[in-house]
Structures are given as structure tokens and as C-alpha cells.
């Protein structure tokens, strides 16, 4: 059993030509989910990390479990208008239009070291916006962590151009 083997591919979702990588099949497998979190814990245990920030929504699942195991706080990065207290946001461009992500203004203290987590890195637009949001509030991103990398789409390289370290447990090449 490998993590990659437990990820379902759904052709032509959400539109024709897209090969959607679905981690729900990984999450429902108790051994697969445990192995995923344990591999990430092994990587980050001993690193100086103050908070784990997870990008909505699947980044919440991986990020919260990882933060718990590392004994650090968890920060949700959400779509606009979803958080109840005062927020700070960052607008970013999508293929067709724009979007905004937000977090609470008191989620990260100046100088805190933050591990950014999401399920997948594709174009890197949302992850780049999350990095900029964390930096805007005074945090320092220690690494950007993903379960899946789609290297041919370019998000990994996009984050590296921002001088970010990027890690993924597995990659789907050519798609």
C-alpha cells in the first residue's frame, strides 16, 4: 500500500480535461490516513514550527491532524466571509476572475514560524496567496507541505520562485 495508490482519480471533474485527484479515498482508509500523518510528523518533528496553517478545506483535515501530533496550534485559512472575528485577507487572481482568502488577525503572532498545509499543489495560486497572507501578518513560512504535487502544472516552481521550500508526499506527473 502506498499513499498514492489510495488517491482516487476522477476524469473530467470539475470540467472536461481535468484529472481530479481525490484524497477522500485516502482519508477513509484508516491505515492510509495514519501513514500520511505519520510520514508528515516524522518530517516535521524537531523542526521549529509554532503553528500549522491549513488551506480550506482539505488542508484543514491534514493540517489539524498534523498540528495535533506536533503539539502546535492550528490556523484555518478560509475563503472570504467564513471567519467570525476580525480578519486579514489577501486577494489573488484565478484563471477566470479573482478570489480572496482570510484568516483571523490574531491567528499568527509576528515572527511565528508557520507550516502551510494543503492537500494538493497544482497552479499554486491559492498557496501563493496563503504565503503572502501569512507574511502580511508577520509570520514566517517554514515550508509549504502537500499530500499531492502536480509538478507539470507549475505550482511547486511558483512557490520556489517566492523562496519557499516545498514538500509533497507523492506526485502525479504529466497531469
| Placement of cell 508577520 in the chain | 138
Catalytic residue among 48, 86, 95, 173: 95
Residue 58 catalytic? Answer: yes
Catalytic residue among 58, 78, 102, 143: 58
Q: Which three cell numbers stand for residue 29?
A: 482508509
Rounded CA separation 166/115 (Å): 10
Q: Which three cell numbers stand for residue 129?
A: 496567496
Residue 113 catalytic? Answer: no
β-bridge mates for residue 144, sequence order? 116, 166
Buried b (16+ CB within 10 A) or exposed e, 30-58: eebbebbbeebeeebeeeebbbbbbbbeb
Rounded CA separation 32/169 (Å): 12
Catalytic residues: 58, 95
Amino acid at each position: 500500500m502506498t499513499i498514492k495508490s489510495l488517491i482516487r482519480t476522477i476524469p473530467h471533474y470539475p470540467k472536461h480535461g481535468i484529472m481530479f485527484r481525490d484524497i477522500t479515498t485516502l482519508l477513509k482508509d484508516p491505515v492510509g490516513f495514519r501513514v500520511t500523518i505519520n510520514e508528515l510528523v516524522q518530517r516535521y518533528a524537531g523542526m521549529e514550527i509554532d503553528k500549522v496553517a491549513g488551506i480550506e478545506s482539505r488542508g484543514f483535515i491534514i493540517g489539524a491532524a498534523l498540528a495535533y501530533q506536533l503539539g502546535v496550534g492550528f490556523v484555518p485559512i478560509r475563503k472570504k466571509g467564513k471567519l467570525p472575528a476580525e480578519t486579514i485577507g489577501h486577494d489573488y487572481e484565478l484563471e477566470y476572475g479573482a478570489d480572496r482568502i482570510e484568516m483571523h488577525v490574531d491567528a499568527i503572532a509576528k515572527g511565528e514560524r508557520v507550516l502551510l498545509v494543503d492537500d494538493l499543489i497544482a497552479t499554486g495560486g491559492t498557496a501563493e496567496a496563503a504565503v503572502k497572507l501569512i507574511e502580511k501578518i508577520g509570520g514566517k513560512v517554514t515550508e509549504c507541505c502537500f499530500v499531492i504535487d502536480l509538478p507539470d502544472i507549475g505550482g511547486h516552481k511558483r512557490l520556489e520562485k517566492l523562496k519557499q521550500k516545498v514538500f509533497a508526499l507523492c506526485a502525479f506527473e504529466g497531469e
